[in-house]
Structure 1
Amino acid sequence: MTYDKTANPSAASVSVSALPLSPGAWELDPLHSAVHFTIRHLGIAKVRGRFLDFEAGLSVGETLDEVRASAEIALASIDTGNPDRDVHTRSADLLDVEKRPTMTFRSTSVSGADEEWSLQGELTIGEVTRPVTLAVEFGGAVEFAGDGRKHAGFEATGEIRRSDFGLDFGTGFLSDVVKVHLDMQFVAPQDQSN
């Protein structure tokens, strides 16, 4: 997507028609999407994990101001490759999934061009909501022979601070910063050919 930033700097006025994304609600392809994270342990090594149960949506309008992205992640679906650690992480010591079953994201604005984008939004964990910005790389859009529909790929990265959401257990051996990495593939609306 290209546009003249000097001619009209308002993101709301930028058309998304140059992107190969049809207006409408794009649905998540869960088989080709993933939600990963990393957190440092003792400041010297990274613990990597993922969430297995999540949903996401992408609504494309005629302008960037009409583009909306959302996601909901079931916190109990955490998988760090160590069952004992996962049980402890789900407990009241840390995530407390009984009290905080989901983590949700709702976009508030989009900006950028070509393959590089910035997605601003609000992340909610439990009863706490904080602003979050994700750097998004648009991987392109192609028709998939398997279903005859266009698929679009995105990679989003960002950081959140556990303390912002009252998740400060383990201070001293777990870092406050959690890095998130999302690979998302969306499928064009059924009634759209491009």
Structure 2
Amino acid sequence: MNRTALALAAAAVLSAGGIAAAPALFAQGAAQIPGAVEPARVTGGTYAADPAHSLIAFEVNHFGFNDYYGIFGDVAGTLMLDPANIASAKVDVTIPVASVTTASKGLTDHLLRPGKDGAAPDFFGPAPAAARFVSTGVKQTSKTTATITGNLTLNGVTKPVTFEAEFTGAGTNPFNQKETVGFEAETEIKRSDFGVNYGIPFVSDEVELDISVAFEKQ
């Protein structure tokens, strides 16, 4: 998923949930934005995901016609980070699958509906367990990028997954004065590996995941 699509997805979440904005902060002529892609701004320590500004977008192909998008919001998790030793970083992120949303209420309901007559659900079911990614290794590939390997647990199945991650900004959040770092990461998985088989190949087995997370220092 490209950044334009991710930005549109994020805008949909924010507009649906509303944002509390300080008029003075967003007034014309206000100070520059607080975040910048400057690794020197990052300090070591333990960070926690800001669930209001973190999301995971997914992309599948529908009938070979076009790609379709959905979002998991309210992402939680931790990041342990030492800027002097990126390889020692550890990420543990939980994704509440039950919070999935799409542009179509009917499709969102389909993702979460129970199976008919006691059968297994088509996709996640009405009360799906949260997914979780726990890193097992981090390899820095440039000043602002890294490859993150780890285990993804989804639908009760755990498989190794590799994310290509990019540092997207650091600074102080003007609302709560917390040091904040932002990252985006992407990967592609096969949903059949996690036992989500409905509609293959009409709805693609391949799913692209695009993660955007803001972490706040604790």
TM category (shorter chain) comes to 0.7 to 0.9
Q: Secondary structure at the match of 1:163?
A: helix
Distance 2:100 2:91 in 1: 22
Q: Which amino acid aligns with 1:107?
A: S
- Does residue 1:111 correspond to 2:123, yes or no? no
Aligned residue runs from structure 1 range 158-177, under 5 A: 158-177=187-206
Q: Secondary structure at the match of 2:204?
A: strand
Aligned length: 171
Assess if the C-alpha contact under 8 Å between 1:121 and 1:132 holds in 2: yes
Q: Secondary structure at the match of 2:47?
A: strand
Distance 2:201 2:102 in 1: 20
Kindly state the Cα deviation for residue 120 of structure 1 after the two structures are TM-superposed. Answer: 0.6
Aligned residue runs from structure 1 range 147-158, under 5 A: 147-158=176-187
Distance 2:88 2:213 in 1: 19
Q: Secondary structure at the match of 2:172?
A: strand
TM-score of the pair, normalised by structure 2: 0.72
Aligned residue runs from structure 1 range 138-149, under 5 A: 138-149=167-178
Kindly state the Cα deviation for residue 85 of structure 1 after the two structures are TM-superposed. Answer: 1.1
Distance 2:133 2:96 in 1: 12
Q: Secondary structure at the match of 1:175?
A: coil
Higher helix share: 2
Q: Which amino acid aligns with 1:101?
A: A
1:47 maps to which of 68, 72, 87: 68
Structure 2 gaps of 5+ residues are 1-38, 114-120
Deviating more after overlay: 58-67 vs 35-44: 58-67
1:72 maps to which of 70, 75, 94: 94
**Runs of 4+ in structure 1 displaced over 4 angstroms?**
none
> What is the root-mean-square deviation of aligned Cα atoms in Å?
1.8
Higher strand share: 1
Assess if the C-alpha contact under 8 Å between 1:75 and 1:90 holds in 2: no
- Does residue 1:82 correspond to 2:111, yes or no? no
1:63 maps to which of 75, 85, 89: 85
Tell me what 1:137 maps to: 166
Distance 1:147 1:53 in 2: 18
Structure 1 gaps of 5+ residues are 1-17, 190-194
Map Cα deviations across residues 131-171 of structure 1 (whole Å, 9 max, x no partner). Answer: 10111110131123333232111011111101111111101
Distance 1:155 1:72 in 2: 15
